[in-house]
Structure formats: C-alpha cells, structure tokens
Structure 1
Amino acid sequence: MLRGACSRLASSLRGTRAAPAATAQRRLHASGARPLADKSEGPEGPARAFDPALLEFLVCPLSKKPLRYEASTNELINEELGIAYPIIDGIPNMIPQAARMTRPNKKQEEMEQH
C-alpha cells in the first residue's frame, strides 16, 4: 500500500520538475544572489499551479483530515475547522499560523448572537 502511494506521488511530482536553469535561478535567488533576468518570465518568474493530485497525500496538520482545493482563492480548505491554507507558487503553506479563518470561531459567533 505504501509503495503504491509513494510511486503515485513520485509520478505526479515528475511532471512538475523545473528545468535545470530554473532550478539554478531559484538556488541563486535563495542564496541572495540576483539571477539574470529572463525575458520570457514575469517579474516573479513563471507561475506554478497547484497539482490537485497531491490532495490524495495531503491532510490538515491540525485535524489530520482531508483538505479541499479551492481554485478561486488558491487555497486548501479544512471545512471542519474552518481554516484555509494558502498555496504560494504551487506549494501549499500548511503552517497553522499561516492559515486564515474561513468562518468566525465559536466565541465570536456566541458574542454576535447575544
């Protein structure tokens, strides 16, 4: 079972590999050096889309429940907890402090009702 999941993850990631030049530019950028400008890319480089096939492997780090991808906001949504994790440059930022609340919490709801 684990081998099958690993091979599916590997095959889905194979299609998202960057060209060697793009990888080198990211490494230069991460090290603080300025990469040469490429005329075919925008100011931040090519936008990478999130691969929904990864939802098979990703779960909320807080509840360990599956997440839903919302393309309009480019976020992974946890309906149960009412939080949304942003996806930046095709990479989900699943740090709980980076998540935003999608609905008011129970204390806020109780205060609004009274």
Structure 2
Amino acid sequence: MLSGARCRLASALPAAFARRCLRAAGWRASADPSGRAKEPPRAFDPALLEFLVCPLSKKPLRYEASTNELINEELGIAYPIIDGIPNMIPQAARTTHQNKKEDVEQH
C-alpha cells in the first residue's frame, strides 16, 4: 500500500500530464458558447517527448517538425500529430521512406 505522500503523487501525475497535453494542444477554457479557443492551437510541445514512447517498441520517439510527426527510427514508422496531439495508434502510423529502402535492399 502506498504511503499518503506517494499516493498523492501517484494520483497527481496523470492529471498533471493531461493538463500539460491540453496546454500543448492550445486548449483554453473560455466563455465562448461555441467552445472554440480564441487562438489557433499551438504546435506540439517537444518537452512531451520526455514522457512519450512508441506503443509498439516502448522506445523513445523523435519529433520531426517539418512533417509534424513523431518518428520511431528503429521500426521505420511515423505517428501523426493533429492539432498538437500525437495520434499514437499504431494503425494510424505511416511507414517512413527509410523502412521502404530496407525492404527493397532485402529482396
């Protein structure tokens, strides 16, 4: 069983991580009835790379600003970032050119 301090820390981490993701995506609480933020969403916050890993390999990812994707060099796949939020669903990832070159060399 966790002590009081460790339990509070464990319960605060998911909420703090969620707030950071929302801020990185440009979410703002507003009185606008449409629920839209008044400013355009911000780009991906590279500081989130400290917490994010590939769901398949559990290895760190690299942020590629030119394509707005998170790249797994080892598997040769790229996860898209939409409105500042990484789509880490493996089926949504695309194969990178590097992986295609390796397939051609093997055959």
TM-score bucket of the superposed structures, by smaller chain:
0.5 to 0.7
Q: Name the structure 1 match of 2:89.
A: 95
Aligned-residue identity in percent: 66
Runs of 4+ in 1 over 3 A off after TM superposition: 9-12, 21-24, 105-109
- Higher relative contact order at CA 8 Å, sep ≥6: structure 1 or structure 2? 2
Q: TM-score, normalised by structure 2?
A: 0.67
Aligned-pair Cα RMSD in Å: 3.4
Q: Name the structure 1 match of 2:106.
A: 110
Confirm or deny that 1:19 pairs with 2:36: no
Which residues of structure 2 form unaligned runs of 5+?
A: 1-5
> Structure 2: how far apart are the matches of 1:65 and 1:98?
18
Give deviations 1:13-38, integer Å, cap 9, x for gaps: 18814132469525xxxxxxxxxxx9
Confirm or deny that 1:61 pairs with 2:68: no
| Residue identity in the other structure for 2:48 | L
> Structure 2: how far apart are the matches of 1:11 and 1:82?
28
> Structure 2: how far apart are the matches of 1:88 and 1:68?
16
> Structure 1: how far apart are the matches of 2:104 and 2:33?
45
